[in-house]
Amino acid sequence: MRWPASPFTATEEGGTKLGPRDRGTTWIPSAEQRKQGGQITEGYRNHRIMPGDGYYVAV
């Protein structure tokens, strides 16, 4: 089990605008984490998001 990859945790800010009590976290199977990480990386590539670029995550 590993912490999930997400657009929030991949940011320089780390998705910490909300306090810990208002953020949900959980462990996920390693295979799922690798799959999510690949999807996030592909999204960055497809949208030409480079390190240091600003972007929004709509939930």
Per-position pLDDT tens, the chain of length 59: 555 556 666 666 666 777 778 777 777 788 887 888 788 888 889 989 888 888 777 76
Q: Quote the pLDDT of residue 14.
A: 63
Hey, is 50 helix, strand or coil?
A: coil
Q: Quote the pLDDT of residue 46.
A: 92
Give me the half-sphere count of Cα atoms (radius 13 Å) on the Cβ side of residue 9: 12
List CB contacts of 39: < 8 A, sequence separation 6 or more: none
Q: Quote the pLDDT of residue 18.
A: 73
Q: What gap in Å lies between CA 30 and CA 19, rounded to an integer?
A: 26
